[in-house]
Structures are given as structure tokens and as C-alpha cells.
RNA sequence: GCUGAUGUGGCUCAAUUGGCAGAGCAGCUGAUUUGUAAUCAGCAGGUUAACGGUUCAAGUCCGUUCAUCAGCUCCA
């Protein structure tokens, strides 16, 4: 007999070889029905998996990540089955579950149109009605290859050939359809009650642009119709938050054909940017950073020396001055190196922290451009920390803390990644190993969960990245901490140690916002345009009831402006309701309606953006309230 | 860069099978003087992304380029 420890801590004994599903069934038939996959000793497994030794088992439902995963993976098989029924000539590539649904990459001689997608969706519905059960079976490598070759599934054949020697090769079948798949899958197609094919895109086989472009169909399925409706509503909501749309509506920035990827910031957008930058400066000064500015255009020799010429050239813009070649900076570091070298340094100066809000230009592929999130010119909130090797861990931790402090102000959650040595890199493996280990140690010391992103480091060193999420659930890299042993060598940087000898410093390159532009885009979506008071371009809109109250309104505005509150008066000859609506749609945090009562010395009628509530408040109390909200960078208006 | 889609006043969108480019909002002018999410009237605004082609006639069909969107690739 074996013992199985369940999630609630209860322990059950069974014959060895019992399956996950049988365990679920033993507990209750209802649970068995809702069990989509299992987590056996921490590993995601199929419900058909048999258990042969003492184990811990978690039964996963749709509410669990692993359960969703199995459900959607089966969705992708259903999609493939439907396509195969309609177009038997199709060649299937891969069809995984993703965070929100699934996709299948297919190679087919017809161009999939929205009409065809509808047809496929209908076919999927029909197949579900057949109530097919899924079966798992294993084949030897030779048998598997023979099977897929017979079917003409060239992509599957390639997948099998690339599987490791000892891999178990499993297939899942449902009715006439079967697919190479590691699983897990759900038991039966009937729980799929709602199906939606969402979008269509091209995707290279193996993600390599040298390979054939396949057609990728994205879809999602749910056990309940209402869940699909909710999901579609969520997508609509997310679209409303799109920073490109809000940027236009709130008059923050614009993009023009004349400068693809080069955003134009309007007066209101510049206010927000400036607030972000002021906040940044304040937080950095407080932590001993100094600020520098380095030029945008620098001689090519510098870029050759820094390694950018060899490792970053395809992303750089060039120009010529007096017959010499110059480059427009894609990064701030080489300029920072030159500043460091302008004088000698003692170990007593270290760590030396030099920040720079530097405008960099990078040639991004035109298909990659995306609003403010992905541009060709952006301001990095850069800083270089020059330090002794034994200061590394402490300084990395300080940067992690700084990032956390800054993200907290906005109420962001984030994910952390550790990126290791890329192919196109400089420096020895030993140095890379030391640097990567230092970053890992810092993360572990802070107890931060992180994911390894192999081969994604900068060409000069490994990095820790902070990823923030946008309204559509896409994540964007913002902060980054990069450890660099190369630039100090290349630029022959040194400091005089306590021993009176020259030593090599180590550098941390780091950003918190990453790019002011991207961060701006993310906060627009994060707040849905409803900025907290400290960031709002107009903090108070004063709306006089009639012309007779204009002077009084302007007096109040002057009082508020005098203490630094961004105040406007809407003197347009429109009805009150119209101007309130306008201020509301501009997402102005506070509105003051002033008329006879206020002019006669009464309290002010304050309307709050989020609640629409109106309350009376004296001018003095209002000043106090607003000042407090602004200084504390409060996320609420109340 | 690749695959697919899209491109009409500042914005959102109309315009049968090719047949006089139109509306709402925003803007301007006037009337109205308003108490918490849209007052009324008038005016103005377009080489239909650009260039080329087919046609008696092109927003509409064809070609090229550009930009945008969804992905891929890449990345802050």
C-alpha cells in the first residue's frame, strides 16, 4: 500500500498504481468531474497518471493554474482536430496552452480568414457535442516517427527527432484525431462549454525567421459560457485603458508618420513626465546618487572601444561630422565612463553613483513599435555605480530596494528575471559566472522569487530585470540591474585602494523606470488615465456657475496655484453640466463649482472624480488636503 | 524585418455592383447666464496616407511606397 497526502493534509492509503482520477473519484464523484489535472509531488501530471509510491497530491480544477493549463491544452487539440476535419491537408506544428487560452501553429495552403475562423469555431463546437474521451498512449521513437511520417506531419517528425534520448513519447487521441503531446489533458471534451477563436497571427517555426512562417490561431475555452463572456468584457475594458487611446483623449502625447517611434509629448504629458523625473531625482539624491548629462552624439571610436560597434551596431544610428563618423547614443554608459575618467578616484569615493536621465536612440524594427511601450527614442533613467568587488552584493540589494520603493508608490506588482550570458557577448566565462552568481545571491538574500532567462543578458554582463504588466496582461521590462566587469577593462577605469595601488572597479548599470516613455505608458494603463493627484496634469478644475463668478473663481485658482497646485478655470460659455462632464472625462481628480454661495463666503463645493460625491470644504482645509495628498503621493482621492 | 489586416476633416465613423465625399463630436461666431456627466442656431473644416496605373468616371479596382494594428523576431 502507498500513502497519498492531499492538499488539505489528509492522508489516504491506496494500492500502488492507482490513478489521479481514481483518487479524486474515491473522495467524491463531483470532485472527480471537476479535476482537470493533478500536481503530484510538485509536478503537473495527467489525471490518468498512476501513482506508484508515497506521494503528495493536489487535485487541480479550472480555478488552478495547472487545471486551466490542461483545459486549454485540450482546447488547442480540439482546434487542431477541427482544422484537420475541414482541411485534411493541414500540417500541424505546435499547439500549447498559454496564460490566456491556447494557440495552434499550422502550415496550410489556404489563408485563414475571419470567416474561416468562424467555420473552425463551429466545427469545434460540433466535435465537443460528440463527447469524445481523451486517451493517452506511448510509442517508441521508431513507432512514433513511423506514425507521423505516414500522416505527413513533418513538423511533428522534427519534434520527435529532437526529443532527448530518454524521453517518453506520448500521444493523446480524441476520436479520429491524435497528437504528439506530453500532456496533461482533461478526461473528456464535454466540459468545454464555451469556445472562442480570438486572433490570427504569423509565427515562425521554432520562432526563427529563417524558417517558414506558419499561421497561428489563438483561442480560448471555458467550462462555463458566463466565464467566456466575462473574459471578453475584460478584453474590452483593457482596450479602453490602452495608453495609445488615452494618450490621445487626455492630450498627453501623439505619434506621427513623420517620426515613427519618436513620440511627441504635449503640455499635459510633459507635466506627468516632469513629475516622474522629479520624483526620481528626489529618491536618488536621497540615496547618494549624483546626476550627470552626457552628449547624444559621440565619435565612433568611443563605440568601438565600448564594444557597441561590434555588438550593437544594427540598432544604432550614425552620422558624420567634419568627415568623421559619429554615432547617436543607444546607451549612456560610454559617456558615463568618460566622466568617471576625468579624475582619479580613491576607494573612499566608492561606491560612486552617477545617474543620468539620458535620451537614447535605437533602431527598432518597424513591426516592433508600439505606442510609448516600444519606441526608437527614449529616456533611460540610467545610473552607473562604480564600486569595489566586495561592494557588489550590498549595492545590488540597495538597487533592488530602491526599485521596490519606487514601484510601491504606484501600487505595481512586478516579476523578476535573472538573465544569463548571451551568445553575442564579451568577457570570459569565469567572469560571467562570478557576476551571475553575485546577482543570484543578492536575489536570494532578499528572498525574491525569480525566473531564469537563459541567454538574455546584456552583451557585457548578466542582469536582473523587473517586469511590469500592462492592461492586456502583456509584461514589459522596466527596471534592470546589470553587472559589468567589461567596461572597466575596456575603458581602463581604476581607483586607488588602501594599499596605494591601482584597482579595477566593477560597475552596476541600472534603471528603475527603464524608459520614462514606457513607464509613462504603463502608468496610463495601470491607472486607466485616472492619475493620482500628484501626477494629474490638472489637479483642480474650477467651474464657475455663471460669468458673474469668473473673478471669484480666478481668485481661488490663484490661491491654489500659489501653493503649487495645478489649477484651471473653465470659463467657457457652456452649461455647468457640460463643463463638469468635460472635467470628468479628462479624469481631473477634483472639481470645484463656484457660484453665489461660495462667493458670498460659504464653503467650497468639492466634487471628487472617482466617486462623483460633492462635499463642502473650506479653502484652507482644501489646501491642506491637497497638499497632503500630493506630498504623500496618495493613490486615493477620498 | 516577416505574416495578416487597416488607412476617409482634430476625434469617432458613413458613402449600393466604380457614378456629385457625408454625419456626430471637437473648433469658430452668435444667442443663452446656467448649481454637479452633453443648451440652441449658424459657419468653417477633406488633393479620401503618398505616388503611379486601369477606366468616360476611382474613397471604391490594380501596383509600389509609407504609417498604423495583431502577432512573430528583438528589446527599456
For the segment A572-592, what is each residue's pLDDT rounded down to a tens digit?
989 999 999 999 999 999 999
Mean pLDDT, chain A, integer = 88
- Over residues A511-545, the pLDDT tens digits come to 999 999 999 999 999 999 999 999 999 999 999 99
pLDDT digits over A374-408, tens only? 999 999 999 999 999 889 999 999 999 999 999 99
Q: Domain count for chain A, please give it.
A: 4
Complex prediction ipTM: 0.92
Q: Does the structure show a pLDDT above 80 at A69? A: yes
Q: What is the mean predicted confidence (pLDDT) over A474-478?
A: 80
Across the range A29-43, mean pLDDT stands at 75
Residue A261 has pLDDT above 90, yes or no: yes
- Spanning CA of A145 to C1' of B73, the rounded length in angstroms is 30
Q: In the predicted model, is pLDDT for residue A343 greater than 80?
A: yes
Same domain, A501 and A577: no
The answer to whether A315 and A330 are in contact (CB under 8 A) is yes
Out of A181, A273, A308, A333, pick the active-site residue: A333
Provide, in whole angstroms, the distance separating residue A549's CA from nucleotide B50's C1'. 51
pLDDT in tens, A77-96: 888 888 888 888 888 888 88
In this structure, what CATH number is given to the domain that contains residue A460? 3.30.930.10
Query: What CATH number has the domain bearing residue A626?
Result: 3.40.50.800
Q: Do A356 and A383 lie in a common domain?
A: yes
DSSP one-letter string for A402-435 = HHHHHHHHHT--EEEEEE---SS--S-HHHHHHH
Retrieve residue A187's grid coordinates.
Answer: 478526461
User: Is the pLDDT reported for residue A292 higher than 80?
Assistant: yes
Please spell the DSSP secondary structure of A166-203, one letter per residue.
T--EEEEEETTEEEE------SBSTT--EEEEEEEEEE
Neighbours of A581 (CB within 10 A): 12
Same domain, A73 and A43: no
Angle made by CA atoms A347, A350, A353, in degrees to the nearest 5: 155
The CATH code of the domain that includes A17 is 3.10.20.30
Asked if the structure places residue A238 within a domain, the reply is no
Rank A180-189, A201-210, A228-237, A405-414 by mean pLDDT and report only the highest. A405-414
Q: Hey, is A498 helix, strand or coil?
A: coil
Mean pLDDT of A432-454: 89
For residue A243, being part of any structural domain is answered with no
Burial (CB count within 10 angstroms: exposed 0-12, middle 13-18, buried 19+), residue A60: buried
Which of A473, A496, A526 represents a domain boundary (last residue)?
A526
Residue with the bigger pLDDT between A145 and A405: it is A405
Of residues A73, A71, A93, the one with CA closest to residue A83: A93
- List bases in chain B with any atom under 7 Å of a protein Cβ: 1-5, 7, 11-12, 27, 31-39, 66-76
Is A382 annotated as catalytic? yes
Q: pLDDT band for A324, please (50, 70, 90 cuts).
A: very high
The C-alpha atoms of residue A195 and residue A50 are separated, in whole angstroms, by 31
Give the 3-state secondary structure of residue A575.
Answer: coil
Average pLDDT over residues A220-248: 86
Q: Is residue A621 part of a domain?
A: yes
Over 90: is that where the pLDDT of A352 sits? Answer: yes
Whether A333 has a binding-site annotation, put simply, is yes
Other CB atoms closer than 10 Å to residue A22's CB: what's the count?
16
A174 noted as active-site residue? no
Angle, nearest 10°, between helix axes A619-631 and A550-562? 40
Percentage of chain A lying above the pLDDT 90 cut: 48
Q: Which of A102-106, A164-168, A356-360, A485-489 has the highest mean pLDDT?
A: A356-360
Identify the residue whose cell numbers are 512562417: A213
- Return d(Cα A99, Cα A78) in angstroms, integer: 18
pLDDT score recorded for residue A497: 94
Q: Are strands A475-484 and A506-515 parallel, antiparallel or unpaired?
A: antiparallel
List A284, A361, A463, A587, catalytic entry: A463
* Amino acid A147: pLDDT: 82
| Per-residue cell: A339 | 566622466
Asked if residue A186 and residue A53 are part of one domain, the reply reads: no
- Residue A217 sits in which domain range? 66-231
Query: Are residues A165 and A37 part of one domain?
Result: no
A463 has catalytic annotation: yes
pLDDT greater than 80 at residue A470: no
Whose grid coordinates read 490638472? A538
Mean pLDDT of A445-454: 88
In-domain check, residue A239? no
Residue A473: pLDDT band (50, 70, 90) is low
Answer yes or no: is A323 within a domain. Answer: no
In angstroms, the CA A629 to CA A635 distance is 8
For residue range A550-579, list pLDDT tens digits in order: 999 999 999 999 999 999 999 998 999 999
Separation between Cα atoms, residue A186 and residue A184, nearest integer Å: 7
- A303 located within any domain: no
Of A61, A68, A62, A113, the C-alpha closest to A87 is A113
Residue A468 sits in the same domain as residue A333: yes
Q: Are residues A520 and A559 in the same domain?
A: no
Give the separation between CA A107 and CA A130, rounded to whole angstroms.
26
Is A509 annotated as a binding-site member? yes
A416 in the same domain as A561 = no
Share of chain A above pLDDT 70, in %: 98
Q: Which residue is closest to B33 in terms of CA–C1' distance?
A: A546
pLDDT value at residue A564: 96
Listed residues A44, A61, A78: the one ending a domain: A61
For residue A69, the tally of other CB atoms under 10 A from its CB is: 21
Residues 6+ apart with CB under 8 A from A373: A243, A470, A476, A518, A521, A522
- Output the pLDDT for position A209: 67
Q: In Å, what is the separation between the CA of A306 and the C1' of B51?
A: 43
Is residue A27 domain-shared with residue A168, that is, in the same domain? Answer: no
Last residue of one domain, picked from the residues A43, A61, A79:
A61
User: Which backbone phi and psi does A505 adopt, to 5 degrees?
Assistant: -80, 165
User: Quick one: average pLDDT of A192-217?
Assistant: 79
Q: What is the dihedral of CA A344, A350, A351, A354, to 10 degrees?
A: -30
Q: Are residues A384 and A469 in the same domain?
A: yes
Residue A244 domain-assigned (yes or no)? no
Nearest nucleic acid nucleotide to A368, CA to C1' distance: B74
CATH number at residue A226: 3.30.980.10
- Does the annotation count A243 as an active-site position? no
Is there a single domain that holds both residue A552 and residue A500? no
Q: What is the pLDDT of residue A199?
A: 79
Active site residue A478: no
In a domain, A248, yes or no: no
Distance measured from the CA of protein residue A216 to the C1' of nucleotide B76, in angstroms? 28
The mean-pLDDT minimum among A175-184, A432-441, A618-627 falls in A175-184
Q: Quick one: A448 and A546 in the same domain? A: no
Amino acid at each position: 500500500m502507498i500513502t497519498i497526502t492531499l492538499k488539505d493534509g489528509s492522508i489516504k492509503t491506496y494500492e500502488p498504481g492507482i490513478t489521479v482520477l481514481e483518487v479524486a473519484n474515491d473522495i467524491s464523484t463531483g470532485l472527480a468531474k471537476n479535476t482537470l489535472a493533478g500536481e503530484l509531488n510538485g509536478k503537473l501530471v495527467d489525471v490518468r497518471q498512476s501513482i506508484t509510491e508515497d506521494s503528495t497530491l493536489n487535485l487541480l480544477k479550472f480555478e488552478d493554474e495547472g487545471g486551466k493549463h490542461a483545459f486549454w491544452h485540450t482546447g488547442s487539440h480540439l482546434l487542431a482536430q477541427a482544422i484537420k476535419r475541414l482541411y485534411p491537408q493541414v500540417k500541424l506544428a505546435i499547439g500549447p496552452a498559454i496564460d490566456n487560452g491556447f494557440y495552434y501553429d499550422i502550415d496550410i495552403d489556404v489563408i485563414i480568414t475571419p470567416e474561416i475562423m468562424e467555420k473552425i469555431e463551429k466545427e469545434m463546437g460540433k466535435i465537443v457535442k460528440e463527447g469524445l474521451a481523451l486517451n493517452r498512449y506511448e510509442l517508441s521513437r521508431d513507432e512514433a516517427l513511423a506514425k507521423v511520417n505516414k500522416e505527413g506531419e513533418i513538423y511533428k517528425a522534427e519534434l520527435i527527432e529532437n526529443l532527448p534520448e530518454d524521453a517518453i513519447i506520448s500521444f493523446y487521441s480524441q476520436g479520429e484525431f491524435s497528437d504528439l503531446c506530453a500532456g496533461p489533458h482533461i478526461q473528456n471534451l464535454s466540459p468545454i462549454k464555451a469556445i472562442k477563436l480570438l486572433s490570427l497571427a504569423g509565427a515562425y517555426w521554432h520562432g526563427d525567421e529563417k524558417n517558414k512562417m506558419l499561421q497561428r490561431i489563438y483561442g480560448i475555452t471555458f467550462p462555463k459560457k458566463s466565464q467566456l463572456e466575462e473574459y471578453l468584457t475584460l478584453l474590452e475594458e483593457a482596450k479602453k485603458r490602452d495608453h495609445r487611446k488615452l494618450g490621445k483623449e487626455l492630450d498627453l502625447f501623439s505619434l506621427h508618420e513623420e517620426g515613427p517611434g519618436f513620440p511627441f509629448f504635449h503640455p499635459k504629458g510633459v507635466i506627468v513626465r516632469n513629475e516622474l523625473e522629479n520624483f526620481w531625482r528626489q529618491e536618488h539624491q536621497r540615496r547618494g546618487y549624483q546626476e550627470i548629462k552626457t552628449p547624444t552624439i559621440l565619435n565612433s571610436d568611443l563605440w568601438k572601444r565600448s564594444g557597441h560597434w561590434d555588438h550593437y551596431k544594427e540598432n544604432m544610428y550614425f552620422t558624420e561630422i567634419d568627415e568623421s563618423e559619429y554615432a547617436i547614443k543607444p546607451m549612456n554608459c560610454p559617456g558615463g565612463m568618460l566622466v568617471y575618467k576625468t579624475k582619479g578616484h580613491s576607494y573612499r569615493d566608492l561606491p560612486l553613483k552617477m545617474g543620468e536621465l539620458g535620451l537614447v536612440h535605437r533602431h527598432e524594427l518597424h513591426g516592433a513599435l508600439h505606442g510609448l511601450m516600444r519606441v526608437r527614442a527614449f529616456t533611460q533613467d540610467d545610473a552607473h555605480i562604480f564600486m569595489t568587488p566586495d561592494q557588489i552584493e550590498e549595492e545590488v540589494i540597495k538597487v533592488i530596494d530602491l526599485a521596490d520603493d519606487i514601484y510601491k508608490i504606484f501600487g505595481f506588482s512586478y516579476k523578476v528575471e535573472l538573465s544569463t550570458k548571451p551568445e553575442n557577448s564579451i568577457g570570459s566565462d569565469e567572469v560571467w559566472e562570478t557576476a551571475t552568481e553575485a546577482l543570484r545571491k543578492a536575489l536570494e538574500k532578499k528572498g525574491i522569487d525569480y525566473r531564469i532567462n537563459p541567454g538574455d543578458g546584456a552583451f557585457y554582463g548578466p542582469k536582473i530585470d523587473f517586469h511590469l504588466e500592462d492592461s492586456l496582461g502583456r509584461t514589459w521590462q522596466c527596471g534592470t540591474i546589470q553587472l559589468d566587469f567589461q567596461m572597466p577593462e575596456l575603458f581602463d577605469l581604476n581607483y586607488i585602494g588602501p594599499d596605494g595601488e591601482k584597482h579595477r572597479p566593477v560597475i552596476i548599470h541600472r534603471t528603475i523606470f527603464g524608459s520614462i516613455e514606457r513607464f509613462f505608458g504603463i502608468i496610463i494603463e495601470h491607472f486607466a488615465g485616472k492619475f493620482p493627484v500628484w501626477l494629474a496634469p490638472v489637479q483642480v478644475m474650477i467651474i464657475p456657475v455663471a460669468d458673474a463668478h469668473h473673478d471669484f473663481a480666478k481668485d481661488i485658482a490663484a490661491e491654489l496655484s500659489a501653493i503649487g497646485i495645478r489649477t484651471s478655470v473653465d470659463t467657457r460659455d457652456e452649461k455647468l453640466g457640460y463643463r463638469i462632464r468635460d472635467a470628468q472625462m479628462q479624469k481631473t481628480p477634483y472639481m470645484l463649482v463656484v457660484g453665489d454661495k461660495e462667493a458670498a463666503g460659504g464653503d467650497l463645493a468639492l466634487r471628487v472624480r472617482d466617486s462623483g460625491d460633492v462635499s463642502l470644504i473650506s479653502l484652507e482645509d482644501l489646501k491642506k488636503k491637497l497638499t497632503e495628498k500630493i506630498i504623500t503621493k496618495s493613490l486615493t482621492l477620498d
